Every structure is written in C-alpha cells, then in structure tokens.
Amino acid sequence: MRKCVYCSSEVPAERAMQICDKCGVGVWGKKQWEHIKKTTDEAQDKGDLNFNSGECLERKRAA
C-alpha cells in the first residue's frame, strides 16, 4: 500500500494516482473523481504513464 499525498491514508498499490477516495472526492467531487480514477488507471494499464521508462520508449519506437 502507498500513502495519499494529501492525508497520508493508505491508497491501493495498483491505483495510478497516490490520492485516496476521500481526498479525491473532496477536491474534484464524486462524479469527476470516478472519471479521473478510471482514465488514469486505464492509461497506467496501457503503459502511458511510464514517462521515464526506457522499455516504454522502445515499445513506442517499434510501433
């Protein structure tokens, strides 16, 4: 488990952002937070959030 950057509560390791649900809803509201979680988790699954990963760059060059 990782820690929320705002309140230090636990955040699931598989989540793309280090923000807990309580803080996410508090900042963006429930509907927007659910959308943000969905899109960032999907981007992470595709490898789009691996900015400094040499493997990611090689994969993009090969495509």
Per residue in 1-31, pLDDT tens?
789 999 999 999 888 899 999 999 999 999 9
Which residues constitute the domain of residue 57? Answer: 2-62
- The larger pLDDT score, comparing residue 21 to residue 48, is at 21
pLDDT confidence bin for 45, thresholds 50/70/90 = confident
Q: At what angle do helices 21-28 and 30-46 cross, to 10 degrees?
A: 120
The pLDDT of 27-43, averaged and rounded, is: 95
Cα–Cα dist 24/27, whole Å:
5
Report the pLDDT value the prediction gives residue 52, as an integer from 0 to 100: 62
pTM: 0.69
Spatial neighbors of 13 by CB under 8 A, at least 6 apart, are 1, 2
Domains held by the chain: number:
1
